[in-house]
Amino acid sequence: MARAPWDEFGAEGGLFRKLSAAAATEWRDYTWHPFVQRLSAGTLPLKAFQHYLIQDYLFLIHFARAKALAVLKGESLAAMRDKAAAVLAILDETKLHLKYCAEWGLSEADVVTVPETAETVSYTRWVLDRGYAGDILDLEVALVPCTVGYAQVALRILADPARQRDGNAYQSWIDTYGAASYQEMAHAAARRIDALGVSHGGEARFARLAADFAEAARLEQRFWQQGLDAAGRG
């Protein structure tokens, strides 16, 4: 049976696919969360999306810090250079994110003065904690569900028979993560997990790595859910 395109990340028998298979329920609940399904259908309340955008901007700040920690934890000079470039790319992305927020009626002041929610704090600090406590593989396993998950979300939406194809207000968001450049970055992230699994004893540590991967997926679920909850309070 042919694999769905969103199942093609990582190599057959590699660590990434083993981790996603071990967390199959959590991974599905993250990558096809009701928030995502409503993005696909074009029925997501604007308030839910705006809440998500603001918290995602705040998330990116800590994601950059985690990538900076990966420079420190990097196993080689080449890895350190790659992670340093990733930090700069994320910091540039925060500027673009503010412009994107403006398209949705959110000024820079609206975004930067909002406090982090409990969902944002718990996710970002957990990732940093895994990086401080472990090595580069522990940190990358905590980070990779975000990078690869968003690529898979876009592919799932694009294949969704119920997707609103014309006039979907969220099409630009879908296009961002469905773009070839983002998809290749996500594939590279999965390949890196496979490589680190070989070089850093992934098999011997699989139980802990799988628990971390599943926890990251659960934290991603809660990140989506906070948008729906915010809209519900409206």
**Residue 110's pLDDT band (cuts 50, 70, 90):** confident
What is the arithmetic mean of pLDDT over 129-153? Answer: 97
Output b/e per residue, 38-69; b: 16+ Cβ within 10 A.
bbbebebeeebbbbbbbbbbbbbbbbbbbbbb
In the predicted model, is pLDDT for residue 52 greater than 60? Answer: yes
Are 229 and 34 in contact by the 8 Å Cβ rule? The answer is no
pLDDT tens for each residue of 76-85:
999 999 999 9
Q: What is the pLDDT of residue 1?
A: 60
In the predicted model, is pLDDT for residue 225 greater than 60? Answer: yes
Are 104 and 53 in contact by the 8 Å Cβ rule? The answer is yes
Q: What is the pLDDT of residue 233?
A: 57
What is the arithmetic mean of pLDDT over 31-57? Answer: 96
Are 30 and 220 in contact by the 8 Å Cβ rule? The answer is yes
What is the arithmetic mean of pLDDT over 13-35? Answer: 98
What is the arithmetic mean of pLDDT over 4-17? Answer: 93
What is the arithmetic mean of pLDDT over 100-124? Answer: 91
Report the alpha-carbon distance of residue 38 to residue 77 in Å, rounded: 43
Are 6 and 152 in contact by the 8 Å Cβ rule? The answer is yes
Could you tell me the domains of the chain? 14-233 (1.20.910.10)
Are 56 and 97 in contact by the 8 Å Cβ rule? The answer is yes
In the predicted model, is pLDDT for residue 29 greater than 70? Answer: yes
pTM: 0.94
What is the arithmetic mean of pLDDT over 169-197? Answer: 96
Percent of the chain with pLDDT over 90: 85
In the predicted model, is pLDDT for residue 158 greater than 50? Answer: yes
Are 217 and 145 in contact by the 8 Å Cβ rule? The answer is yes
In the predicted model, is pLDDT for residue 234 greater than 50? Answer: no
